[in-house]
Chain A
Amino acid sequence: MKIIDGFRDVIERFDRVFEQSKYKPGWETISTFFFAPKAVNSLSGPHVRDNTDLKRYMTAVMIAVGPTVLASVYFFGWRSLALVVMCYILGILIEMGFAIYNKEEVTEGMFVTCLIYPMILPPTIPFWMAAVGLAVGIILGKEVFGGTGKNIFNPAIVGRVFLAVTFPTAMASKWVQPFEGPLGGLTHWAQRADAVTSSTPLIAFRNGDPTGIMDLMLGTTAGSLGETAGVLIILCGLFLIMTRVANWRLPLATIGSALALAAAMHLAAPDRFAGPLFHLFSGGLLFGAFFMVTDPVTSPFTTAGKWIYGIAIGAITVVIRNLSGFPEGVMFAILFMNIFAAVIDDAVLAVRFGRSAA
């Protein structure tokens, strides 16, 4: 305890140093990372507050996404962890810059963005390209709207889609097969160049080469870093729902509608369209449904709105996968529905409370 008290003294000494400085918000980010603020409730109430703050809330998301990061190391080598670390360093620097500029503390939402973003990138992505995408995602996807809580789009997806549009070759055709053997990628930095393949299970299906469902569920297929291990993602997603951080309606609506539409299309034309289970475990549907559709800021806040939003994302994903030129559609579906989140809420509120007078 003595060590902690001494450490607290050091931190509080710096608190006083930065008290009047314009870098105070930047320092407070570090200070409150170690020690919670000592603020107490006002004398007129409420006198007690819940023990969950936004740090703990976002930490729950990080704990839930954590296993998929470990899985990405197992499948694709330590390079993926290095990518995560780079994203964190860059993300914190950008956020601190904006915090100082806006004279506000750094909001913890960024810790989730910097973890989810690398997980939806292809394993071969150059570091500089990931950095560009992250900067675009955070700045254009979030900060221009006023920061966490005001952003319309999920910043991780903005960065990912920016890269997909700007560097289509690097983003869509340079996949690798995961490592094999009991230790997998734990003894490797990255997959060898000759393991590069141009197809993920979704592309392979179009070329008439469907991947086995067992491989899809366990994650031993090519794909983005964190999206391959289907069963693991489901378990992590259930953890997130159990903590009440993610609303269960969103993933259920997304996955349910994707399954239903995929099943209907599969029944209509079994040769042309893959079955529902293949759609569920291939590509980024599970990762998106559990970790990105559930982003509270960019999804509708009304219950009915959540159902509409989730169902639309699931349906659009399957439509893009089955009928468009793109093999994968989760990111586009989420980004597309992000636009409508506020409109959906407005419509639901109009039904519930009547239309606004103005």
Chain B
Amino acid sequence: MAFTGGYLFRNFEGAAEPVLRELPTPETVAAPLDGLTDSPYSILVSEGQKVRAGESLLEYGDDALPVPAPAGGTVERVGSGHIVIRTNDAPGFQPVEGHPRAPWLLERPELLDSFRASGCALLFANRFTVPEDFDTVRVVIVNAVHNAPLDQAWTPEIFGDPERFPLGLRTIRALFPGAEITVAINRRNRKSFESPEITESATVRVMSDRYPQEYPRLLIRDILKESGGADTALVVSFEDVLLLAEVLNRGVPCTDRLLLAAGPGVSRPGWYRVPVGTPFTEIRRHLVKSDEHGPWRIIRGNLFTGLSVVSPDAAVSWDDREIMVIREHAVRDFYRFLNPGFDYDSYSRVTVSRYLPLMRRRLDSNVHGGVRPCVQCNFCDEVCPAGLYPHLIWKHVAADMVEQSFRFRPEQCVGCGLCDYVCPSKIDVSAAVRSAGDAARERRNA
């Protein structure tokens, strides 16, 4: 199935520069425990205790998986959502047992033990906790596709050392010996993936440059040429492959994230290496422009489906990938609909910016218009990467006819949110499609 629909985002204000930077070590890190304490768990540290980075703070689940301390220091507070560590006297890190050794030299049981002991399970939302879990994977897709508005400058060179990615691929091969490995990339980066070390251990596939090709469900569909397969396929980001290589080959505990921070509100948009548990207040202090130019909305996740950071306790977690900062724009613009729109982005071509590709487009949180009835403009079904009719499903949901909408396959929605973006009537289309999709899945499982 070819990738139809989608949207080419081009030239936005606040787009990331292809640079990797580090933030100063935060004064405190708050290891997030969201979801981990739902199953049986035991806390291994107490307040006032000194810990080294990588030392286990907590064991969770039936298999007693460890949560490594993101940084060394003194445990300040053990709460239900976080374990807060003050990083004043960091005494180095605790190496993962049996390291440093290349993982393909290890026997597989030892390798899986290292995977477990280093906290790597946290990178995969705890999908791999026992050895049998690894055998369910038939295809591993390494996701290096970057088509979102602000991250199109991405190249593998950002992350330095060209040896590390091939090392990561060999690590993946060792973890999933029976699986095929495919690296999904953008055309502009294909030269960086031509080295024999990469092509020997994986198939490199050039994917579409249109958003939302990077969504896991679309990658699986376009690479496996089938709509199912989500149970046997694993999509892992390029950055996580680098982290796996580090953790499993050098014995560094799994404590860092490689985050994209971009948007008009980020002072130096680019990629950042930050410890898990870095509080968002710290990120705001170092990365976000002052509120004089804002106010700013800080979003965890992407511009379409991420969540705004509102809680003051929020901290970077093991599954964070990007932070977006856009202007909170509650201003009534004068004659907005007659403004030629030099810095407006629009799917339709009714703004001047469509004809001036070099103008930087501006992103803000304004809805840009009043909510109106659907006029069947076809924008949402033209961009839908799953080939759905989002407005049709929305109409059914709005009319309380969710059951009748199942026929139009709402469960195939990949959740990219493009339909919300392009809608000139400002309807929350994707929320309706998602709810219909959930209801359809529930019905099938019942």
Contacts and interface: CB of A to CB of B under 8 A. Distances in A.
Contacts of A244: 347-350, 379
Which DSSP category, helix, strand, loop or mixed, fits chain B's interface?
loop
Interface in A43-86: 43-57, 59-60
A51 B334 contact: no
B425 to A, nearest CB: 5
B426 A49 contact: yes
Given A36-B333, A356-B407, A43 B375 contact: no
B332 A48 contact: no
Interface in A289-310: 296-297, 299, 301-302
B407 A354 contact: yes
Interface string B307-331: 1101000000000000010101111
12 contacts: A28-B370, A37-B332, A40-B330, A45-B306, A50-B423, A52-B350, A54-B370, A105-B370, A149-B375, A243-B348, A244-B348, A245-B348
Contacts of A53: 336-337, 368-370, 372, 424-426
A43 B308 contact: yes
Interface string B39-73: 00000000000000000000000000000000000
Interface of A: 4, 7-8, 11-12, 28, 32, 34-57, 59-60, 105, 107-109, 147-150, 242-245, 247, 296-297, 299, 301-302, 349, 353-354, 356-358
Given A47-B304, A59-B338, A296 B404 contact: no
B291 to A, nearest CB: 16
Q: Which of B299, B304, B369 has the most CB of A within 10 A?
A: B369
B328 A51 contact: no
Interface stretch (B176-184, B242-250, B359-367): B359-367
Interface of B: 149, 297, 299, 301, 303-308, 310, 324, 326, 328-338, 341, 344-351, 363-370, 372-379, 381, 389, 391-392, 404, 407-409, 417, 420-426, 428, 430
B376 A52 contact: no
Contacts of B417: 45-46
Nearest to B328: A40
A296 B305 CA distance: 28
A44 B428 CA distance: 11
B295 to A, nearest CB: 11
A57 B424 contact: yes
Given A52-B346, A54-B372, A242-B349, A45 B304 contact: yes
A296 B377 contact: yes
B347 A148 contact: no
